[in-house]
Structure 1
Amino acid sequence: MVDFRRLPSPDDLLILLTVARLGRFNAVAEALGTTHTTISRRILALDKQLGGRTLERTPQGWELTALGVDAVAAAEAIELSLGELDGRLSNSDALTGLLRISAPDGFGARFVMPALVQIQRENPRLDVELLSGTRKASQNRSGVDLEIVVGRIESVNAEPIFLTNYFLRLYASAAYADRRGLPGRLEDIRHHSFVSYVESALQVQELGHRSSQLPMPITSFQATSIFAQVDAVHAGAGIGLLPSFMVPASSGLVPVLRDDFHRQLPIWAIARPESLRSTAVQGVVAAIRQQITDRAGELSA
């Protein structure tokens, strides 16, 4: 007969699995509806039961020890078995729980959001949180299951998955073109107003005007939101450096120096290995890729 008193708590193992995926006790506590203190206490109890430390603190957040890796493997088996049981009881293979994704606001709204809606439609018991933010891949773990990031990937303690490239191009409103004219050469940008990100708040420098090698404009309108930038260009605030997928042909905006300037940037999905083994995260990555495939013309324009 199995002595259950000697076995680690399945609940504590599942908490460890969530820590491995999110990297921070605060994020785990929020996801599980409890407190940081409770999470810490449960991990300490698990360590005592297993006879060693399952986690170690690093500059990148909590990381698994060798013992922790073994414990997480057991936790993943428990999670899989519970998911199969839940599916049989509900006569469904639907996913449950909470899925957290962070993404740049433009790409997040245009491509990630439809993918998440699709996943949730197929899994109505799955809760979804989409966090908007244009930033580098997190070095200290962001408390999400999956990060979508733009630009060059530096060394991170996670697995990057290339999703697609996209283009930044110059646009202006027809009213601005009528009032100020349009530059005939890149050098003529210096005589115009320019719309872009707030340089002082920008983590992804490739998105800003300063790194574009374009001349400095007379004046600038800067915003942290790409939606505010698009609206500002529509309102005639200046020439904008915008993702082409945010400017459909029906937008009414006028391309500026299309044959002379563009910038191509990559988009990546990044997650811990433990998160990438999650069926929900795998489903989201596949759904985002499907969105990209189905709408490839918007990204290659």
Structure 2
Amino acid sequence: MRRLPSPDDLLILLTVARLGRFNAVAETLGTTHTTISRRILALDKQLGGRTLERSPHGWELTELGSQAVAAAEVIEGTLGALSGTIARNGDALSGLVRISTPDGFGAEFLAPALVRLQRESPLLNVELLSATRKASQNRSGVDLEVVVGNLEVAHAEAIFLSNYFLRLYASPEYARERGLPATLDDVRQHGFVTYVESALQVAELGHRSTRLPVPRSSFQATSIFAQLEAVRRGAGIGLLPNFMVAGKPGFVAVLPDDFQRQLPIWAVARAESLRSAPVQAVLRAIRTEIEERQDVLAG
């Protein structure tokens, strides 16, 4: 009689299906790439066929692998419910969820949403990774990506979260000392604060995509928080997310009736990740935070 497949190996396969890369799975599970590869080979032998095949987007499930993952999800759900019972708090959410997000949106919306979720589910661990980029084609070892702008997604699902606005801002001191442009063409006489164009993956966030004139000087940074500080200290006019500065002291709007940019925010994940109860809970928490603060995004 053929031995039943190892539940541990099935759960490893489930994690590979979600993260797409052995290295990311090994890091998540606290083991090595070699061990993950060995356990998947052992599972393939037990099941009598291959569960994974390599693609340009990472490891993808075969038909047999999809059937094995369905069984692994049942095991995961049962173990999660048992963990909640043992903890005597009714909490079925446990494990680690990795999320990549632009740093500004992550700090303003994801952090408070996830802190609230952890209070309700103390067995849940969260890793929030700052990344301002297009949706990864191999999911980059995360359960969920939050990305901005137009999407080109393969082997994943995209969930619309919200729109938000980029607008031009300066500091009150800069406005007093240099004055503010009367027209968009006058922007060429000012300093401009923006992302490092050579390192920027999301073109819609940079100065070049705005069609504004080339400024007198520029201050470029990969961090939106560095950009905010540069604008606040008078480096020039910045193209900033409205939700990070509107109504806050230290910033004045520049040509608010003449220029603004609206961008969408998406959550992107593999289908296997979206069936995970912790990932679903994270998504609900993020959407609740967005819904409760929609006026900040639309303001």
Same fold (TM over 0.5): yes
Residue 83 of structure 1 and its aligned partner are, at CA, apart by 1.4
**Percent identity of equivalent pairs:** 71
Task: Choose from 207, 210, 216 the match for 2:208.
Answer: 210
3-state DSSP class of the match of 1:142? Answer: helix
Task: Choose from 150, 156, 159 the match for 1:158.
Answer: 156
| Mapped partners of 1:289, 1:86: distance in 2 | 26
| Mapped partners of 2:275, 2:231: distance in 1 | 42
Q: Which amino acid aligns with 2:41?
A: L
Task: Choose from 236, 248, 251 the match for 1:250.
Answer: 248
| Mapped partners of 1:239, 1:86: distance in 2 | 52
Q: Which amino acid aligns with 2:78?
A: S
Check conservation: 1:137, 1:156, Cα contact below 8 A.
no
Paired residue for 2:176?
A: 178
| Mapped partners of 1:120, 1:87: distance in 2 | 14
| Mapped partners of 2:90, 2:276: distance in 1 | 14
Task: Choose from 50, 53, 56 the match for 1:53.
Answer: 50
3-state DSSP class of the match of 2:117? Answer: helix
3-state DSSP class of the match of 2:133? Answer: coil
Q: Which amino acid aligns with 1:283?
A: A
Paired residue for 1:7?
A: 4
Paired residue for 1:26?
A: 23
Check conservation: 1:23, 1:141, Cα contact below 8 A.
yes
Residue 29 of structure 1 and its aligned partner are, at CA, apart by 0.4
Residue 17 of structure 1 and its aligned partner are, at CA, apart by 0.2
3-state DSSP class of the match of 2:248? Answer: helix
Superimposed CA distance per residue, residues 221-262 of structure 1 (whole angstroms, 9 cap, x where no aligned partner):
000000000000000000000000010313231100000000
Task: Choose from 279, 282, 291 the match for 1:281.
Answer: 279
Check conservation: 1:172, 1:238, Cα contact below 8 A.
yes
Q: Which amino acid aligns with 2:30?
A: G
Q: Which amino acid aligns with 2:293?
A: R
* 1:41 and 2:35 correspond: no
Residue 89 of structure 1 and its aligned partner are, at CA, apart by 2.3
Q: Which amino acid aligns with 1:11?
A: D
Residue 45 of structure 1 and its aligned partner are, at CA, apart by 0.3
3-state DSSP class of the match of 2:182? Answer: coil
Residue 124 of structure 1 and its aligned partner are, at CA, apart by 1.1
* 1:82 and 2:49 correspond: no
Q: Which amino acid aligns with 2:261?
A: R
Residue 140 of structure 1 and its aligned partner are, at CA, apart by 1.8
| Mapped partners of 2:233, 2:86: distance in 1 | 55
Paired residue for 2:98?
A: 100
| Mapped partners of 1:84, 1:144: distance in 2 | 24
| Mapped partners of 2:279, 2:161: distance in 1 | 14
Check conservation: 2:134, 2:148, Cα contact below 8 A.
yes
Q: Which runs of 5+ in 2 are unaligned?
A: none
Q: Which amino acid aligns with 1:27?
A: A
Paired residue for 1:200?
A: 198
Paired residue for 1:65?
A: 62
Q: Which amino acid aligns with 1:296?
A: Q
Q: Which runs of 5+ in 1 are unaligned?
A: none
Paired residue for 2:297?
A: 299
| Mapped partners of 1:104, 1:65: distance in 2 | 33
| Mapped partners of 2:90, 2:37: distance in 1 | 32
Q: TM-score, normalised by structure 1?
A: 0.97
Q: Which amino acid aligns with 2:286?
A: I
Paired residue for 1:230?
A: 228
Residue 123 of structure 1 and its aligned partner are, at CA, apart by 1.2
3-state DSSP class of the match of 1:49? Answer: helix
* 1:261 and 2:259 correspond: yes
| Mapped partners of 2:124, 2:52: distance in 1 | 28
Q: Which amino acid aligns with 2:26?
A: A
3-state DSSP class of the match of 2:53? Answer: strand
